[in-house]
Amino acid sequence: MSDAAVLGALDGVRIVDLTQMLAGPYCTMLLADQGAEVIKVEPLDGDHTRIIGPYHADDKLKAFGGYFASVNRNKKSIGIDLKTAAGRELVLKLCDNADAVVENYRGGVMDRLGLSYETLHARNPKLVYATIRGFGDVRTGRSPYADFPAYDVISQAMGGIMAITGPDKDTPMKVGPGVGDIVPAITCAFGIVSAIFRAHKTGKGQFVDVGMVDAILAVCERIMHQHSYAHALPHPEGNHHPLLCPFGMFPAKDGFVTIAAHADAHFPILCRLIDKPEFATDPRFITVQDRRANQDVLIATVSDFTGQRTKQELLKHFGGKVPFSPVYNVRDIVADPHFKVREMLPWVPHPGLDHEVQIAGVAVKMTETPGSVRHRAPLLGEHTDQYLQSIGCSEADIARLRDDKIVI
């Protein structure tokens, strides 16, 4: 890992990151992975995820755990007390030379601190100001819940994803990873890059607002056309699809596998592979709609075949012939050569450890400007001096700011 690695596509873009927890940091991580310079402005006690863990058993320092390490790689850290006028002035100066500022405070907090979009835009008209809030910002549409706090589980619930996830139609269920944070983060990163592109063309920045609930609804787009076109009320479908079959999870002797052979191109192949070639011409299964209407028979037949074999046996039997995968846990992922060759399991150093640890890698691959994990997550205030000097602070100024507990 090195800052001297091949430059990313966003090299030269500067982001002031005023986010904490998961949604905001994941958003700015995506930008940092592609080469943006991300200045993480933390309170003097740090982003609260620093203390969540998990900590490695050999960690002698415990400066931060795996949570923080995973979503704050490639960033620089500066600790500033925003409750002080002097601290806020430092942030204003950082934003004067930035392409974007990103924050995920509750609505109105930045306004009260004198760091509103309007204030920063007046100083730097090219600045893109991006927010991630549970129910959006009043500038783009005042939600009746605008002042409500929100986390992943809240946006999953109200955005509709829980209502179509679960083991049966009566049991909604939380999705495993924090998609209520991560989907808004990805959406916001797309919005930021789009707005920066526009600002570079026109010289004018803008306000970019992502409501967490809105982003989840956008991901659940299927429920809207089911409701609008078919007047249906979508509900959890267990591990199968409401419109397609066979498309879902099936048992194996040692776990589970997934098969998606609903299409006309794949269904006859599946029939042959499960020793039921006659199903390909059976009137019950001729069209996609027919297969869905008779899904109970199909699911039971495929399950009977898969349940008598191991995941690896099924991978050899189905792999490359129809869309298929074993259901992997993280140990399976680490052992599979796909993720190694795709550089999805990078090793990073960690303060307090004398060996490296693995985190998830960069999914967006580019041939000329590849994104990468160039350096580990920063220690709290690790780059304070560097950035204070960049906005004109002398060594004496920095020492005074530290003595006054304005920076760390």
Distance linking the first and last C-alpha atoms of the chain: 26
Query: Is there a contact between 408 and 384 (Cβ–Cβ < 8 Å)?
Result: yes
CA atoms within 13 A on the CB side of 318: 29
CB burial readout 91-127, b (16+ within 10 A) else e: bbbbbeebbbbbbbbebeebeebebbbebbbeebebb
Structure tokens at 279: 């199903």
Q: How far is CA 403 from CA 92, 107, 136, 395, in A?
A: 21, 32, 38, 12
Local structure of 103: helix, strand or coil = strand
Contacting residues for 93 by C-beta, under 8 A, at least 6 apart: 391, 392
Task: List beta partners, residue 260.
Answer: 247
Report phi then psi at 37, rounded to 5: -85, 110
Query: Is there a contact between 146 and 152 (Cβ–Cβ < 8 Å)?
Result: no
Local structure of 40: helix, strand or coil = strand
Which one is catalytic: 17, 181, 209, 214?
Answer: 181
Structure tokens at 60: 């002698």
Sign of CA dihedral 131, 137, 139, 140: positive
Residues 389-395: contacts with CB under 8 Å, at least 24 apart = 390/97, 391/90, 391/93, 391/94, 391/96, 391/97, 392/93
Is 181 annotated in the active site? yes
Contacting residues for 223 by C-beta, under 8 A, at least 6 apart: 160, 163, 164, 234
Query: Is there a contact between 40 and 76 (Cβ–Cβ < 8 Å)?
Result: yes
The verdict on whether omega for the bond into residue 54 sits within 30 degrees of 0, i.e. cis, is yes
- Measured between alpha carbons, how far is 344 from 352 in angstroms, rounded to an integer? 24
Q: Catalytic residues, which ones?
A: 181
